[in-house]
Structure 1
């Protein structure tokens, strides 16, 4: 019988689907298994359903000699060494499109929350609200210049949404893709002109710390930066410095450097000063946290996993030869 490891809890109907294909060992969660416990489960595993908190490298694969597939219940797979998986004959699959719409929605929500002082407004109402007072004036998307960095599926979905706000101009930054609804420009120009910069960039060698001290040195004063791509696209200490000296008007993020598990030099936590800064809004990786979407993602990953075990074609495979 196939042995299937599931490293985070899944919906009951997904678990039942997996159990139809083999014996399932599932983490009761929500905290990840310690490394040694995960290795013990993987020792006899034929398949593994993996999540954002997981990482795969050659060392892990050496301890999982029977493993045939890793089915990722997520879109970005930068925590997974695809070359090592290919060499080990382990097929990796991912869920490429189900996260797009909810992530784009959250990006716009974070932009509005940051620009309109929603967190501070909520705090004041809950503490001692005596009625309206002339305070907490922010900025709006209407009439603003908005830059979307990364014009993949999520970036294009963000453009879909900000088009309806009456922006003065929408800029697009992407060396490989074009979108007729935006004016394509360089990152430097976008940072110099935009009131809002929304990052929808995957993590690659070239995109790590794309937004660093040098990039932030030329930004439009008071600019609002929103990151829903990957945490390490932004250098958080550089953002903190730009907030501290007033160049950056605010930072909102759903993703953080400490989440990029496959980077050996990643920080182990979010800078405390960044968490405490009043011009920040943070959410705990809620981009796909819509109940129906999460169920669909888990089911798609389960179907990918089962297809490999059955010897069938899988549309969502992410092979790298190396």
Structure 2
């Protein structure tokens, strides 16, 4: 076996460990064990991805660092530290292809739940109250999907399929996009925010997107609009969001990710009317673990056979181009 593979895990090992062990000299490391086991490894499978352990355990000597790191996630912000990014000999791949459709379905579910006030219906049910009331329609409503990568595109396609008007927001403006129609750049973003009934965040967390939804962006949103975040918590200035929700300018928010996870119990977001909170589960499905390991095993076979890897991340941009 030519390669030494370290699998970083927390709690449960990934499936198909027997197959992995037949393909590579495999050791398993918790976050606490990683500093001892990572130096000298050829490959790192990060089954845990939202953790400082990889950065903190990265060898000072580049010759001791892995040549290939695979993230079992779509987002790779935990991996974008200088020692990994600046080393041209380290290839970073991710789990592109696993989370797109589940996340799109989750976003559609959130939009329907907000428009139809399902949380209010369930509260009335718990109190045995019969409270007929009208709800919003989503047909013809405008969704601005901020983030035009694979997850954003899957969201756009699904929202279009149910009759919503969809546009995108990204680093560069363009028209005639097959999924978004119009993609707004920085110069037209303000008008797009002012027109959107739902603003959906699906961007990766990079140096350019951190804090992109600040007080000015929130102020630009249409009164009564709703914010949905399935990207990363740090895309949003949470205090500014709390302030805009509290003054009633926004009708609500559905938040799956947060700057600090788990969301602290003392956060005011827990109790704010019109706010739905989920524990970073937008892309999780019952078959997620098997799908993730299939992506890795495909690439591991390619690595062993000397073929090009799939889902190679542009480490400077922070996503697969």
Q: Same fold (TM over 0.5)?
A: yes
Which consecutive unaligned segments of at least 5 residues does structure 1 have? 28-32, 260-266
Paired residues of 1:256 and 1:270 also in contact (CA < 8 A): no
1:318 Cα deviation after fit: 2.6
Could you say if the C-alpha distance between residues 52 and 184 of structure 1 is closer, same or farther in structure 2, counting changes exceeding 3 Å?
same
Q: Which residue of 1 aligns with 2:319?
A: none
* Other structure's SS at 2:289 match: helix
Paired residues of 2:39 and 2:59 also in contact (CA < 8 A): no
Distance 1:5 1:79 in 2: 17
Could you say if the C-alpha distance between residues 312 and 204 of structure 1 is closer, same or farther in structure 2, counting changes exceeding 3 Å?
same
Q: Which residue of 2 aligns with 1:278?
A: 273
RMSD: 2.9
More off after superposition, 227-236 vs 310-319: 310-319
Could you say if the C-alpha distance between residues 213 and 66 of structure 1 is closer, same or farther in structure 2, counting changes exceeding 3 Å?
closer
Distance 1:160 1:124 in 2: 34
1:144 Cα deviation after fit: 1.8
Q: Which residue of 2 aligns with 1:207?
A: 209
Distance 1:319 1:190 in 2: 28
Distance 2:231 2:90 in 1: 26
Paired residues of 1:82 and 1:318 also in contact (CA < 8 A): no
TM-score (norm 2): 0.82
Could you say if the C-alpha distance between residues 61 and 54 of structure 1 is closer, same or farther in structure 2, counting changes exceeding 3 Å?
farther
Paired residues of 2:204 and 2:232 also in contact (CA < 8 A): yes
Distance 1:188 1:271 in 2: 32
Could you say if the C-alpha distance between residues 170 and 313 of structure 1 is closer, same or farther in structure 2, counting changes exceeding 3 Å?
closer
Could you say if the C-alpha distance between residues 68 and 152 of structure 1 is closer, same or farther in structure 2, counting changes exceeding 3 Å?
closer
Could you say if the C-alpha distance between residues 79 and 11 of structure 1 is closer, same or farther in structure 2, counting changes exceeding 3 Å?
closer
Please tell me whether residue 291 in structure 1 is matched to residue 289 in structure 2: no
Q: Which residue of 2 aligns with 1:133?
A: 131
Match of 1:12 among 6, 11, 15: 15
1:113 Cα deviation after fit: 1.6
For residues 221-274 of structure 1, what are the alpha-carbon distances to aligned partners after superposition, in whole Å with 9 as ceiling and x for unaligned? 111111112221111111111101101111112222225xxxxxxx98586101
Superposition map of 1:39-118 within 5 A:
39-50=35-46, 51-55=48-52, 56-57=54-55, 60-62=58-60, 65=64, 67-81=66-80, 84-85=83-84, 86-87=86-87, 89-118=89-118
More off after superposition, 312-321 vs 197-206: 312-321
Paired residues of 1:148 and 1:171 also in contact (CA < 8 A): yes
More off after superposition, 244-253 vs 301-310: 301-310
TM-score (norm 1): 0.82
1:184 Cα deviation after fit: 4.0
Could you say if the C-alpha distance between residues 270 and 292 of structure 1 is closer, same or farther in structure 2, counting changes exceeding 3 Å?
same
* Other structure's SS at 1:286 match: coil
Q: Which residue of 2 aligns with 1:148?
A: 145
* Other structure's SS at 2:287 match: helix
1:150 Cα deviation after fit: 2.1
Higher relative contact order (CA 8 A, sep 6+): 1
Distance 1:269 1:71 in 2: 30
Which consecutive unaligned segments of at least 5 residues does structure 2 have? 317-321
**Aligned pair count?**
304
For residues 78-115 of structure 1, what are the alpha-carbon distances to aligned partners after superposition, in whole Å with 9 as ceiling and x for unaligned? 21126522527332211222221111111111122222
Please tell me whether residue 226 in structure 1 is matched to residue 222 in structure 2: no
1:303 Cα deviation after fit: 3.3
